[in-house]
Structure 1
């Protein structure tokens, strides 16, 4: 496969593929999509998010026209709820570091299923969180998304290693999570 990654003058991430990946010869998305997919699908890295974007295909039969609920709705609701719980001090990690029966993981898995991506067990989620919080330098945590399609994309490693790209993604992530945090009510 021959593929290239670039960020255009408008701030769009563009991946061009030859031959096509999952039926598409190009993928165009804003950096905010990367951070939202990471959070909503429980992904371990930017590379994993880009791989999911390239591989995911929404099952549109799961869209409910009457309610407007789609494959992403449950993940948004569960993440908002988890953030509200974390804001009040509720933890989903047991003392031994394992993830308790986690409604967020369940909602993420429903979204993953709806996007035709692999689901993850609570155990995988716990191992991934442990790897992300440890000092295991050089070890890339995975939530189960196959990142092989991203390994030979010209320009992607430079983007992932660039400090200004990381700062921009960090800002996108801060805005994304801030938009989901509970708001205090002034009465």
Structure 2
């Protein structure tokens, strides 16, 4: 596969592929999309988010025209709920070490299924959170998305290692989470 990555003057990420990947010869998205996919699907890295964007294909039959609910709705709701509950530190590990069911992981998995992406177990999600929290991560963690589609994209490694790109992506992530955080009532 021959593929290139670039960020255009408007701040759009553009990936051109030959031959096409998942039926598309190009992928065009804003950096904010990377942040939202990482959060809503429980992805481990920017590379994994880009791989998911390239491989995901929405099952439009899951869209409910009557309610407006689609593949992403449950993941948004679960993440909002988790952020509302963030004041309490909840462990997903039982006393015997078993990983408990996590509603956020379940909602993420429904979104992953709706995007035809692999799901992850509660244990994988818990291990991923622990790995990402550690400062001494040697290898790139994975939530199960096949990142091999991104390995030979010319220009992607430079983007991923560029400090200004990382700062911009971090800012996108902060804005995304801020948009889901509960708002304090400002009435006097």
Q: State the TM-score bracket (shorter-chain normalisation).
A: over 0.9
Aligned length: 186
Greater CA deviation, 97-106 or 149-158? Answer: 97-106
TM-superposed CA distance for 1:134, in Å, is 1.7
TM-superposed CA distance for 1:138, in Å, is 2.4
Counterparts of 2:23 and 2:174, CA distance in 1: 33
Counterparts of 1:117 and 1:103, CA distance in 2: 18
1:89 aligns with 2:88: yes
Q: TM-score normalized by structure 2?
A: 0.95
Verify the 8 A CA contact 1:99 1:125 in the aligned structure 2.
Answer: no
Counterparts of 1:45 and 1:8, CA distance in 2: 22
Unaligned runs of 5+ in 2: none
Counterparts of 1:23 and 1:84, CA distance in 2: 39
Q: TM-score normalized by structure 1?
A: 0.95
Counterparts of 1:70 and 1:137, CA distance in 2: 35
Which residue does the alignment assign to 2:156?
A: 156
Unaligned runs of 5+ in 1: none
TM-superposed CA distance for 1:177, in Å, is 0.3
Counterparts of 1:137 and 1:94, CA distance in 2: 21
1:132/1:157 CA distance change after superposition, 3 Å: same
Which residue does the alignment assign to 1:61?
A: 61
